[in-house]
Structure 1
């Protein structure tokens, strides 16, 4: 987009924002935004964002994530920004009940009311937004086949990782020839299905009649604040020698490359990049039956879809994946072509660029 527009990136301060500045070669501005419900901090964020937008006078403000959405869209409306775009890439409120759910419902509706266009990044989210009356159908649209950014299949490719790299990493992690490796990539929190995943893996790995020993590779940060794992899960991760937890990794491709299948039993998603990345790296996926996941994965073609929060069905899918070689090879063979044909990044970028250009040409600026 920086080839067509002057782009300013706004997010909370930290090394990640500095990396965006360096990697994307754009101007960045730090405005602190809490991920939790913090009214005083949120008002400060809103005021800072409003002042920034009054100063810069952008034609387009495009927000991602719920907190950046409410802060950015409300500030943009107050500042008179003509095009206020919000991408919905998952809804945390799906797993919330009671008064907190009521508050989050109100915030979501206010975000969409402040926006001029809303882009759910999956067809499932599109339907969910309409079913819950968060906004009118005329305001929402799915870009392309879904996804916020698509996948660069030249970057996420098995060809990018050498045999020497794989051998070295396997040795480092004590993964031997013949091990079947399930990989999970993401935050290690409850609503990513980690409790169910660890339980399912531990059960199938204890079976005496297992034809092939398996490993579970967990790649991602352990977050204890917002949605901590069960104590039993943490204990199993720490004590089970077949569960390998490597923490956050900036480049996840080597970990895909030494794995055989993605296990991703999340409770809620928008359009998960990790499932597309796994497919591009020629890995079939076991995913839960939720928005996004059940669009990227087609049952028994490039993966398996299991019920949400069901460790038993998850375990059955994992067991078949590692023991039925013909079935596994069929899924593996389809994995990359099914990503290339539907979610190539350049196609998503062109669709978004076309959307921006179309909006800017419109003369009816509704503020």
Structure 2
């Protein structure tokens, strides 16, 4: 049974980031497991029940606690050793670190770290260095790092947290898309909205600025309170509706706390597990964050048809298109925030237009099914990549053992061939030429010499047919000229089996598809050599080379080696019709436009 394990620090993150995703992969045939901190345990069990997955409690805390974290790491490693999942996806800071390290220690085949944001962006000193180190460790232990927004990927790479080649973004961003229908204006329950208005004392027609999030500095709540204080002084009918609560580990300044508790224009709804019913109460959303992974709250508001005022912070700028779906202001600028909020309060028609454009963008670019399909494709490619990596290790082991034994056992034969070449053609005995290897990197390839150094009066080499000696023809027919390439195989520049290394000058003539032949090491023999060799056209040979790149495995290599022995004895495909070897490659007809 295919088994996948997701890890998040707290159950609320699973509800926010994995809604529907776990059930999607379970329906695709995976056995799904979810691990998180046990507080509150009821929330973890509820998410597991809704998604149809198995829940596991792990003793994780959001804040740094070395002894507690060490115990949690051990428990996480033991869980993975017991479950033996093919894929682990760890997200949110603490679960991302512990999950990625434990997965690496447990030898999980595919390890994905979902980067939801960088806490280090808004920290300083020792804490910043510690957070940067932990992120680097988590990313180093993962095979891929899914950054939930393009700007987050850019920032993570710039800070040296993750190599660019390892960091990816799914579509336009987010890790799960957004269920836009949950927030659609037409889905509003009028009775529920009326009840909320009554409970919160927000009569119909009251201009309401909304805020959704934790009451911490990083969410920009201090600037919002400052801006709202001045807005209220000019427009006392305006209300600020706050959905969220204080963070025990990150308290606000005393003055901000007093404002929250005492300001007559502020309405606190507290923490709510489902924000959808509250958006119909708002006229616009204030989202003055200092850092985000991706501004999911801004997408929720947009799906509800609301304009959003946010900042240019990492993650936030991906959620709002400035002047199209909302307005963006500099991070920490309370005055600019005030101006933007007032602008939309005083221009309700423009606010509605921005909200409508935002909803259209959510429906177009952030469907959950899109995110799940892209994530599924990533999982599939990583599984193939890891399977291929295992096969490549086996292939390399075969190369080393076979080339070493071959050089040892064939040494007398190679000495004899070298003497014959020396007697008939003189020095040098070995033909050395730079050829393109893996990923096109040049290397010096060795063969026994088969041609004379004959030139025309202008000093240009004569055609192959005139330079090829009788001994050379025999060596090529029996493939004995290839024996020195065993040294290239032993050194890791070539493999026993792979596309033949051609000339460096051919690299710029390949089509993009033909160039894929360099995704594996070149070989002494290959799929094209046992399916026609030089009797094939260049296009046919390259097509066979690319087929091998996509399908190579240990057993196919053994088959090719066996067929090579048969072809050598039959002496098939030694040369193209009318040529001593092959005509020169001048580019494919598709590349030349003919």
The equivalent residue for 1:148 is 175
1:101 to partner: Cα distance: 1.1
Matches within 5 A, 1:329-348: 329-348=352-371
The equivalent residue for 1:19 is 46
Question: Secondary structure of the equivalent of 2:260?
Answer: helix
Structure 2 Cα separation of the partners of residues 289 and 139 of structure 1: 25
User: Of the two, which has the highest radius of gyration?
Assistant: 2
Contact 1:53–1:76 (Cα < 8 Å) also in 2: yes
Contact 2:305–2:352 (Cα < 8 Å) also in 1: no
Structure 2 Cα separation of the partners of residues 55 and 171 of structure 1: 52
Q: Does 1:260 align with 2:287?
A: no
The equivalent residue for 1:215 is 239
1:220 to partner: Cα distance: 1.1
Cα-to-partner distance string for 1:99-118 (whole Å, 9 max, x where unaligned): 11111111111111111111
Structure 2 Cα separation of the partners of residues 39 and 93 of structure 1: 18
Structure 2 Cα separation of the partners of residues 113 and 126 of structure 1: 15
Contact 1:222–1:247 (Cα < 8 Å) also in 2: no
Contact 2:208–2:241 (Cα < 8 Å) also in 1: yes
Cα-to-partner distance string for 1:152-195 (whole Å, 9 max, x where unaligned): 11222122222222222112111123211111111111211111
Aligned match for 2:197, one of 167, 170, 181:
170
Cα-to-partner distance string for 1:291-340 (whole Å, 9 max, x where unaligned): 22111211111100011111111111111110123322321221210111
1:359 to partner: Cα distance: 2.1
The equivalent residue for 2:272 is 249
Aligned match for 1:103, one of 130, 148, 153:
130
Unaligned runs of 5+ in 2: 1-24, 394-594
Question: Secondary structure of the equivalent of 1:58?
Answer: coil
Structure 1 Cα separation of the partners of residues 388 and 181 of structure 2: 40
Normalised by the size of structure 2, how large is the TM-score?
0.60
The equivalent residue for 1:121 is 148
Structure with greater proportional helix content: 2
**Stretches (4+) displaced over 4 A:** none
Q: Does 1:139 align with 2:163?
A: no
Farther-moved stretch of structure 1 (55-64 vs 126-135): 126-135
Aligned match for 1:7, one of 4, 8, 32:
32
Cα RMSD, aligned residues only: 1.5
Q: Does 1:364 align with 2:388?
A: yes
Q: Does 1:239 align with 2:262?
A: yes
The equivalent residue for 2:220 is 193
Question: Secondary structure of the equivalent of 2:27?
Answer: coil
Structure 1 Cα separation of the partners of residues 360 and 96 of structure 2: 34
Farther-moved stretch of structure 1 (192-201 vs 157-166): 157-166
1:60 to partner: Cα distance: 0.5
Contact 2:306–2:351 (Cα < 8 Å) also in 1: no
Structure 2 Cα separation of the partners of residues 96 and 325 of structure 1: 38
Structure 1 Cα separation of the partners of residues 79 and 164 of structure 2: 31
Normalised by the size of structure 1, how large is the TM-score?
0.96
For these two proteins, the number of residue pairs brought into alignment is 363
1:357 to partner: Cα distance: 2.2
Aligned match for 2:84, one of 38, 54, 57:
57
The equivalent residue for 2:416 is none
Structure 1 Cα separation of the partners of residues 189 and 147 of structure 2: 37
Unaligned runs of 5+ in 1: none
Contact 1:218–1:245 (Cα < 8 Å) also in 2: yes
1:365 to partner: Cα distance: 4.6
With a CA cutoff of 8 Å and minimum separation of 6, indicate the structure with the bigger relative contact order: 1
Aligned match for 2:187, one of 126, 140, 160:
160
Contact 2:325–2:355 (Cα < 8 Å) also in 1: yes
Question: Secondary structure of the equivalent of 1:335?
Answer: helix
Structure 2 Cα separation of the partners of residues 70 and 41 of structure 1: 14
Matches within 5 A, 1:271-290: 271-290=294-313
The equivalent residue for 1:84 is 111
Structure 2 Cα separation of the partners of residues 97 and 3 of structure 1: 45
